Amino acid sequence: MPLPIAPLLGFLSDNLTKRRSVMPMSSRKTTRWAAGLDIPAGGETVLYTGLMYQIIPALTSSEKTMSLVQDSWVGQLLSFGRTVNRFVNLTSFMPPADRQEQKRYDQYLRNIVQLLRKAGVTEFGYLYGSELYTGALVRDLGVDDAFEQHARKVHKMLDRQGVRRVITVDPHTTDMLRNVYPKLVPGYNLEVKSYLEVLRESEARPKNRLESEAVIHDSCLYARYLDTVEQPRRLLEKAGVTARDPEFSGKMTFCCGGPVESLFPDKAGEIAGRRIKQLAEAGNDVVTMCPICLHNLEKAASGNGVSVRDISELLLQAYGG
Amino acid sequence: MARVNTDFIDEVRRSDGFDATACMHCGQCTAICPMGLDLLPRRLFFYVGAGLEDKVIENLETIFSCLLCRLCEENCPRDVHIAEDVRFLRNYINRKVHKLARI
ipTM: 0.93
| Residue pairs between chains A and B whose CB atoms are closer than 8 Å | 86
Nearest to B66 by CA among B50, B47, B82: B82
Contact between A224 and B69 (Cβ < 8 Å):
yes
Share of chain A above pLDDT 90, in %: 74
Backbone φ and ψ of A9, nearest 5°: -65, -40
Determine contact, residues A196/A170, Cβ cutoff 8 Å: no
Asked if residues A98 and A136 have their Cβ atoms less than 8 Å apart, the reply is: no
Q: Give ∠ CA A16-A294-A223 in degrees, rounded to 5.
A: 85
pLDDT at A18: 83
- Nearest C-alpha neighbor of A233 from the set A225, A224, A242: A242
Under 8 Å between Cβ of A273 and A289: no
- The full set of domains in chain A, from first to last, is 5-199 (no CATH), 205-319 (3.40.50)
Closest CA to B66 of B91, B90, B100, B31: B90
pLDDT of A73 reads: 40
Mean local confidence (pLDDT), B45-66: 92
> How far does the CA of residue A142 sit from the closest CA of chain B (Å)?
4
* B46 SS3 class: helix
Tell me the C-alpha distance between A184 and A177, whole Å: 11
Q: In the sheet where A125-126 sits, what is the strand order?
A: A125-126, A45-48, A165-168, A191-194
A126-177 pLDDT, tens digit per residue, is 999 999 999 999 999 999 999 999 999 999 999 999 999 999 999 999 999 9
Residue A226 has pLDDT above 90, yes or no: yes
Residue A209's pLDDT band (cuts 50, 70, 90): very high
What pLDDT sits at residue A90? 59
CB A250 within 8 A of CB B71: no
CA dist A137 and A139 (Å) reads 5
Per-residue confidence (pLDDT) for residue A7, from 0 to 100:
79
Contact status of A143 with chain B (Cβ, < 8 Å): yes
Specify whether the backbone of B51 is left (phi greater than 0), alpha (psi in -120 to 50) or beta. Answer: left
Give pLDDT tens digits for A81-139: 666 666 666 566 566 678 899 999 999 999 999 999 999 999 999 999 999 999 999 99
Q: Is A220–B94 a contact, with Cβ atoms under 8 angstroms apart?
A: no
Residues 268-297 of A with CB under 8 A from B: 271, 274
**Cα maximum dimension of chain B:** 40
Q: pLDDT tens, A36-81?
A: 999 999 999 999 999 999 998 877 766 666 655 554 343 444 555 6
Quick one: pLDDT at residue A85? 64
Q: Does A183 touch chain B (CB under 8 A)?
A: no
Q: How many CB atoms are located within 10 Å of the residue A202 CB?
A: 17
**Digit-coded pLDDT (tens) for A277-307:** 999 999 999 999 999 999 999 999 988 889 9
Instruction: Return the pLDDT at A92.
Output: 60
SS3 A194: strand
Query: Which pLDDT does position B101 carry in this prediction?
Result: 64
Q: Which of A9, A11, A292 is most worth mutating to test chain B (most B CB atoms within 10 A of its CB)?
A: A9
Distances (CA, A) of B26 to A104, A270, B33, B46, B70: 46, 27, 14, 12, 17
All residues at 6 or more sequence positions from B5 whose CB lies less than 8 Å from its CB, including other chains: B51, B52, B53, B54
Instruction: Give how far A1 is from chain B: nearest CA, Å.
Output: 12
- What sign does the CA torsion over B63, B95, B81, B20 have? positive
Q: Sign of dihedral through CA atoms A289, A290, A294, A297?
A: negative
| B70, B92, B94 member nearest A220 (Cβ) | B70
Closest CA to B20 of B60, B56, B49, B52: B49
The amino acid sitting at A55 is I
The Cα A127–Cα A163 span in angstroms is 9
Q: How far apart are the first and last CA of chain B?
A: 36
Higher pLDDT, A88 or A231: A231
Task: Indicate the helix (H) or strand (E) that contains A309.
Answer: strand A307-310
Q: How far apart are CA A226 and CA A223, in angstroms?
A: 6
Amino acid symbol at A33: W
Angle at the Cα of A15 (from A9 to A17), degrees rounded to 5?
100
What residues in chain B have their Cβ under 8 A from chain A's Cβ atoms?
Answer: 34-35, 60-61, 64-71, 73-74, 87-94, 97-103
